Chain A
Amino acid sequence: MSTRTTWAVQRVPEVSGGVRLLATALSAILALIVAGIVLRLCGLPPLALGARVLHASFGTRFGIEDLLLLASPLAACGLSVAVMLRVGLWNIGAEGQFFVGATGAAAVGLFLPVGGTGTTLALMALAAAAGGALWIALPAAARLVLGTSEIITTLLLNFVARLLVDFLATGSWRDARSSVTAQTPRIHAAFAKLPRDWHLGGLHWGIALVIALAAVVALLFRYTSWGFELRVCGANREAARYAGMPVGRRLAEAMLLGGALAGLGGMIELAGTVHRLQGGLSNSYGYVGIIVAVLAAAAPVGVLFSALLMAVVLNAGTVLQTQGLPASAAVALVGLILLFVAMGERLSHYRIAVIRPRATPAGTGSAAAASGAAE
């Protein structure tokens, strides 16, 4: 009988958020190193380019502010996708819900004659959430009644939403006084800037709202029996039904909440950054939100970090383009980083363990899992 010590690679069922974050950071750095080597081989100076990207993103206060401004709609859309992933559904339609939410908010901001900015903003937020939820209501109904795949329906409605915004921005809501033909007039209700002495004066309170939304969703998931039910519905609907959970209702609720969150993202972008409804309001934030949610393994707080990561990556693409690299190089870099981060997420589940088969019968030696993460 073999009794010598040996080793094995084992899969750990659950890893902590800290380990996962570390794995993500290390993977991103590794991807950058690989990208640097490729650039070097192409005869480009990777360090100089890297320095430029870093400088553009983190080197100045404006850079950091820009980064956060870009990250916040990504986080909102990521949250939207994450909530639906919790019940095992794919929201490919955050883009459309984002637009419709912004449309609802713009309607309030443009046409509702109320006094205070605070009230208007609150009403805009309500309208946005309702708009986003409305936009997913049809896919939700189709899913629950007919079993239609939400992947297709939510995706298709994105195009409808975009057309709706273009229709309004070039049509009846168009700003007649401006020479730009595809936007509404400026909406005056806007998020206030953060206090000056926080040294992030370019940022608005909408960003705090996104963080608050992530926190609320995290609390709902962890500290309500509702959150527990969503998880079971996502893992095995038949078992959820057997356990007496109202499965259809929970799916519907998760979908509507997901739509509302993306809609709110649209409102925050509108009232915080863009101030006019226009077709360029979203730069594919809804689609990037899918990546954000997947990278965060659908954890609400993790979404904040992965949104930040995606913002850096998108920024780097822009910088590289200004340095004469083709746009496709930037896309390739994005892909490389995502690939590494996804692999890192997987690998963070593995540990090297030292195995000591028992030398003598009955309960002396044992397996000892030791050593650090494989990542």
Chain B
Amino acid sequence: MVIGPVGAPGTLAPRPLVAMRGITKSFYGTLANDGVDFDLRAGEIHALLGENGAGKSTLMNVLTGLYQPDAGEILIENHPRRLDNPAAAIEAGIGMVHQHFKLVQNFTVAENIHLGWEETPRRAGAAALEARTQALSERFGLPVTPGARVADIPVGEQQRVEILRVLARGARVLVLDEPTAVLTPSEVAALFTALRGFRADGNAVILISHKLGEVLEIADHVTVMRGGRSVAQCPAAGASRASLARLIIGDLPPSGRAVAAPLPDVEPVEPRADPDPLPARDVADPAASRRPSAPPGIAATAGAGPSVPHPAPTMVLREVSVRDARGVTLLDRVSIEIMPGELLGIAGVAGNGQRPLAEVMTGLLAPSEGELLLDGASMRGIGPRGFASRGVGHMPEDRLRTGLAATLPQGENALLREYHLPPSTRFGWLFDPAGARRLARGIINAAAVNRRDPSIPARNLSGGNQQRLVAERETRISHRLLVAAYPTRGLDVGAVAALHAAMHRLRARGVAVVLISEEIEELLDHADRIAVLCAGRISGILPVAEADPEKLGLLMSGQSLASGAPVSA
């Protein structure tokens, strides 16, 4: 049934643990799943791949009882099962960890694990719950601190709590939606070890991911979706990054991907209103986005001797400290100069000051001490609007909470940075709905969002498409500086390449780019210099030529390069 370029599994394969047959799920204006067949066998880790908006999350939401399919059936060990809600799914042994965690922040780890669980002992004290949690944690090889409040533990541990919650309820099928997007490399390794252990017990894992390297590392089997359909299924052994990327993007002319992707997208309001294909972004060829030659004389001169005439830095942070309302130091005397046309990478384990740094650089946070200059002028007392109007764009790390008003239409979200400027607004106050709509359409098209109807609420876009919208909106206004925090989270391979290419285009125009990332490889590939954040301080800045994963790792753990001793506080 499934058209697999590598060939269907042999007849000796065990019969599937879970089989989805002809799953169809529509939303107004789109067919998110179009007759999808999907097989999952016991004892396998099955990667579910596909470009943004292909229907992966939707399919898994159907499997875990969150959505009811319009047509099709789900067989568990060959028996048709109705999964009316997530509780029924967990009853059937299927549990899911969503990309946005659903833990109660004010409860402890143990309380979260036991919340709404039949097997929670009735009158059990905190100590008993914590002991049970400790036992579960050891059994599944997922270390957690049972007594800690969820709000106080790192993202990686929160994710382990989510997984434990599901496994504790006896799940045999674990669905993970882009689980590694928020993890550090060592957390990813630990997660994979736990998943392998889970698989060894005869269970199965479905893993949605855009990171093909990880997929090849851990998956046994791969299913690829495109345009709401399952288009390929193959064993992971024998596949390569390139072959997977080809399956994901499809055999289309590279320049036409975004429009030519056969999305069954019917917009009853404005049926296929886009006669002219959007400006193609160079998406299909990741190599094309690799670092073009540095803009003349910029990167090379940064930090060079005084004899070379310095171009004036775009942004200067001088001994900038930030403390929160409780007086906790978030940034500690950070000094950075960012040159025009420079791509400065910020490495570091998440939570070491990345967010306050991005917010200080974009006017959302005022420095408690120190000074920040943009193009030589002090930015004291200037807020986010002032930064934006001076050409500073910002892709925030939390797109759903900060970057988007999720309940509002994507058209209005596209306008967030330009609603007060022509052609949206005339004379500084007169809003022109027609002009605004034209501009919004332009931004949505340029962002290559898979759904073009501006009236769709932003929350109904797939995760990667939300990120594309934010990326386009912010690169548009970045005339001087773009601060991008984890900008590739949730993007598919093509969109990642397109975003990197867009950053390099900015850089070539003399715009400075600050790329905050946890992926060392991404930083080494694209940055001119890499600064490392650790505990709110810059523990070192290296030109990319001198940087390597080892040195960066040392700096990330707070050691200085010279002595190997911790940086004195």
Contact = CB atoms under 8 A, between A and B. Distances in A.
Contacts of A362: 262
A232 interface: yes
A351 B401 CA distance: 30
B456 A13 contact: yes
Contact of B35 (A2, A224, A241): A2
Contacts of A232: 405, 408, 412, 416
Contact of A353 (B28, B387, B425, B433): B28
A1 B70 contact: no
Contact of A242 (B402, B408, B455): B402
Nearest to B389: A244
A34 to B, nearest CB: 29
Interface size class of B (residues with CB under 8 A): 35 or more
A223 B408 contact: no
B429 A226 contact: yes
A40 interface: no
A1 B1 CA distance: 7
B423 interface: no
B140 interface: no
B24 A12 contact: no
B429 A357 contact: no
Interface string A200-234: 00000000000000000000001111111101100
A244 B384 contact: yes
B419 A228 contact: yes
A236 B405 contact: yes
A225 B394 contact: no
A10 B460 CA distance: 13
B370 interface: no
B409 A357 contact: no
Contacts of B22: 1-2, 357
Given A225-B420, A244-B388, A355 B431 contact: no
Given A239-B402, A368-B266, A244 B409 contact: no
Interface in B406-436: 406-409, 412, 415-417, 419-420, 424-425, 428-433
B424 A225 contact: yes
Nearest to B383: A244
Nearest to A240: B405
Given A235-B408, A355-B24, A367 B383 contact: no
Interface string A234-252: 0110111111111000000
Contacts of B401: 236, 238-239
A251 to B, nearest CB: 15
Given A2-B22, A243-B384, A223 B430 contact: yes
Interface in A238-280: 238-246
B266 A1 contact: no
Contacts of A43: none
Interface string B23-36: 01111111100110
Given A355-B31, A358-B34, A369-B266, A243 B417 contact: yes
B264 interface: yes
B403 to A, nearest CB: 7
Contacts of A238: 401-402
A240 to B, nearest CB: 7
A120 B236 CA distance: 84
Contacts of A10: 26-28
B429 A224 contact: yes
A44 B410 CA distance: 53
B188 interface: no
A93 B278 CA distance: 51
A372 to B, nearest CB: 12
A314 B21 CA distance: 55
A369 B28 contact: yes
Interface in A1-17: 1-4, 6-8, 10-14
Contacts of B262: 362-363
From B264, B394, B407, B419, name the one whose CB has the most chain A CB atoms within 10 angstroms: B264
A353 to B, nearest CB: 6
Contacts of A222: 431, 433
B92 interface: no
B3 interface: yes
Contacts of B417: 243-244
A115 interface: no
A241 B394 CA distance: 13
B405 A358 contact: no
B63 to A, nearest CB: 16
B72 interface: yes
B384 A235 contact: no
Contact of A225 (B264, B266, B425): B425
Interface string A346-375: 000001010101100111011111000000
A238 B402 CA distance: 5
Interface in B346-399: 363-364, 383-389, 394, 396
Contacts of A227: 431
Nearest 6 A/B pairs, CB to CB: A244-B385, A2-B22, A363-B262, A235-B405, A8-B70, A236-B405
Interface of A: 1-4, 6-8, 10-14, 222-229, 231-232, 235-236, 238-246, 351, 353, 355, 357-358, 361-363, 365-369
19 contacts: A2-B35, A6-B24, A11-B27, A229-B419, A235-B405, A236-B404, A239-B401, A239-B402, A240-B405, A242-B396, A242-B416, A244-B383, A244-B387, A244-B389, A355-B24, A357-B34, A361-B3, A367-B30, A369-B28
Given A241-B364, A357-B22, 10 more contacts: A1-B35, A2-B21, A2-B24, A2-B35, A236-B408, A242-B384, A244-B385, A353-B26, A355-B24, A355-B26
